[in-house]
Amino acid sequence: MSDKYLSIENVSKTFGHGRKAHEVLHDISLEVRRREFISLIGHSGCGKSTLLNVVAGLTPASEGAVILDNREVFQPGPDRAVVFQNHSLLPWLTVYQNVRLAVDKVFRHAKSAAERHDWTLHNLQLVHMQDALEKRPGEISGGMKQRVGIARAIAMSPKVLLLDEPFGALDALTRARLQDQVMQIHAALGNTVLMITHDVEEAVLLSDRIVMLTNGPSARIGSILDVPLSRPRARLDLAADPTYIGCRAAVLDFLHRRTRFVEAA
């Protein structure tokens, strides 16, 4: 992999002022390489979504900076596409129109109408939604909605794909299928991905590194775990893999035992 591509530099975030000030994140620094898949994991309320929003440009950092491809992030932009747990599709538009809207916004001057049409179809095919083009969000399942949300995000050709618990509201079987699709997309496109999850198995399955945050307030990076599993990864093959089991145990140990000692240090 190449050198740092996304750099989170000494980021702190405080909400409120004076006596009502509440520091959520404290001095977060992380370097992410191009094409790397990073998961952020930690207990609820530790500031994972706040950190993702800072990277997305949706929330300004109180201190520090986010640098993407040698440019500082100050506001939202198509170079950072976000997929939330709530799919955020426009209910009055079809599946095709929801994705085409993003494609038109980003590529209106770079691609012809025919090219934008083909690009929209291509990205819907990547998530296997080409047979539901004319359906509206109310006519498809939760898993299908999330697939459309992922298609919309990758159709923008972002430098970084930001995933905020994208599978958190789905049943186990649908979640597993979407995890497999995300791995396939990551392999095909070489995205740089930053994902929030509460699911330890998901983090180990998908990630190159897992960044573990301490409990808030003033959450810090408590530990970073390399996941040295070769790709492509098949979940059934990993079930008895000693590296997978060891990584899973290390994350569980941090979340359930080590966190309190890191915070007290």
User: Of 102, 133, 157, which residue constitutes the final position of a domain?
Assistant: 157
* Integer Cα distance of 224 and 246 in angstroms: 14
CB 5 within 8 A of CB 162: no
pLDDT band at 133 (very low <50, low <70, confident <90, very high): very high
Tokens 């990584």 belong to: 247
Q: Which two tokens stand for residue 261?
A: 């000692």
Using the 8-state DSSP alphabet, how is residue 219 labeled? B
Lowest mean pLDDT among 50-59, 70-79, 161-170, 188-197: 161-170
CB 103 within 8 A of CB 155: yes
For 54, 56, 94, the CA distances from 101, given in Å and listed in that order, are 25, 20, 10
**Residues 167, 242 within the same domain:** yes
Any idea what the Cα angle at residue 80 is, between residues 76 and 84, rounded to 5°? 90
Domain span at residue 140? 88-157
Q: pLDDT tens digits, residue range 85-124? A: 877 899 999 999 999 999 999 999 999 999 999 999 999 9
CATH of the domain at 261: 3.40.50.300
Pairing of strands 192-196, 37-41: parallel
Per cent of the chain over pLDDT 90 is 84
pLDDT at 4: 80
**Residues 169, 257 within the same domain:** yes
Please tell me the total count of domains within the chain.
Answer: 2
Q: pLDDT tens digits, residue range 25-65? A: 999 999 999 999 999 999 888 899 999 999 999 999 999 99
Query: Can you tell me the mean pLDDT for 231-250?
Result: 94
User: Of 157, 186, 201, which residue constitutes the final position of a domain?
Assistant: 157
Q: Supply the pTM of this predicted model.
A: 0.92
Query: Can you tell me the mean pLDDT for 241-252?
Result: 96
| Distance, C-alpha 71 to centroid of its chain | 20
Q: pLDDT tens digits, residue range 202-230? A: 999 999 999 999 998 899 999 999 999 99
**For residue 2, pLDDT beyond 60:** no
Rounded-to-10 torsion of CA 189, 207, 52, 170: 90
User: Of 157, 184, 209, which residue constitutes the final position of a domain?
Assistant: 157
For 30, 158, 223, the CA distances from 184, given in Å and listed in that order, are 25, 17, 28
